[in-house]
Copies of this chain bind each other. A is one copy, B any other.
């Protein structure tokens, strides 16, 4: 209430746009336009305002802007485990795109819990994220996408999809073709008993892999009884391969759900004194960076996780730019990266071409 009050500047009080405007003798609206790089303001005025910004140490209050503009320059990333080299790669790819466009990323780890996933989505909605990139948790109900649509929340699915329907936005690899290529490669090397390891519960990405596997194996009239549903962990990979080796009709090769499982399989083999590549062929999926730096190096189906992140981010940005963007499904081609974990079958009797016609 002292006489000084209206002239004293309280130290530490965050200064706002109106302070800047007043300081350079211009209206609040004009100052706002300058900050948004509007072409409507004269060069000279712009410079004056920017000088004022610098001088007063003004910082933009995104939250206030959001309220009015209904845009937050924030996006949500919902995945099931960041502690997974593939998803970490995806996240880094996304990040590079969003960073360049001035967006920030909310991260949510669902740990495959549908409840957590829903809680996070609600929270992100509360925070008014502009859009969401989601790798749906196993067991996600099919109407989740309808819910997001009802919210008018732009989204892009990655890696997995809740249901395969036309009107959707999705970025992922062609798992089916990838596994097919891998299977053919093993068959060409003389393998006949091949296991498909990993994929705990059914979701699109599991089904696609199985479809590819069945297609190849059945084309050659080989048995497809070794399709094993296990968690996608190292632990599971190691245990499963040891269990397989104990069978009388043990396989000579395995294609794995992802590289993590493949590393587990290699560990299991080594624990049994076997050499991956020489005594048993192992193929992974993803081509995470570690695949090139393991012993032996891992033959794997590259799903270009980083590029998936990049493409997904770009697709979401396109959707944000034009809300009526037609549904788009980006399927990235797989590439089989042949390294050392995968050699010809040991028994010379079956080392030549396929006998089936």
Contact = CB atoms under 8 A, between A and B. Distances in A.
Contacts of A267: 293-295
Contact of A62 (B82, B126, B290): B126
A99 interface: yes
A126 B59 contact: yes
A61 B152 CA distance: 15
Interface string A245-275: 0000000000000000001101100110000
B66 A63 contact: yes
Contact of A128 (B62, B263, B264): B62
Interface residues of A, number: 54
Contacts of A39: none
A157 interface: no
Chain B CB count within 10 A is highest, among A116, A235, A266, A294, for A294
A12 interface: yes
A59 B105 contact: no
Interface in A115-150: 116, 119-120, 122-128
Nearest to A267: B295
B295 A270 contact: yes
A92 B109 contact: yes
A142 B116 CA distance: 39
B127 A74 contact: yes
B72 A83 contact: no
Interface string A227-248: 0000000110010000000000
Given A82-B91, A88-B82, A124 B104 contact: yes
A66 B74 CA distance: 15
B88 A83 contact: yes
A123 B83 CA distance: 25
B95 A89 contact: no
B108 A104 contact: yes
A102 interface: yes
A64 interface: yes
A15 interface: no
Interface string A66-95: 110000101001000011110011011001
A63 B66 CA distance: 7
A67 to B, nearest CB: 5
Interface of A: 12, 59-64, 66-67, 72, 74, 77, 82-85, 88-89, 91-92, 95, 99, 102, 104-109, 116, 119-120, 122-128, 152, 234-235, 238, 263-264, 266-267, 270-271, 289-290, 293-295
8 contacts: A59-B122, A63-B63, A83-B88, A83-B89, A83-B289, A88-B88, A234-B293, A270-B295
For the complex of A and B, list the 8 residue pairs with the smallest distance between their C-beta atoms, beginning with the closest. A83-B88, A270-B295, A234-B293, A107-B107, A62-B126, A267-B295, A63-B66, A63-B128
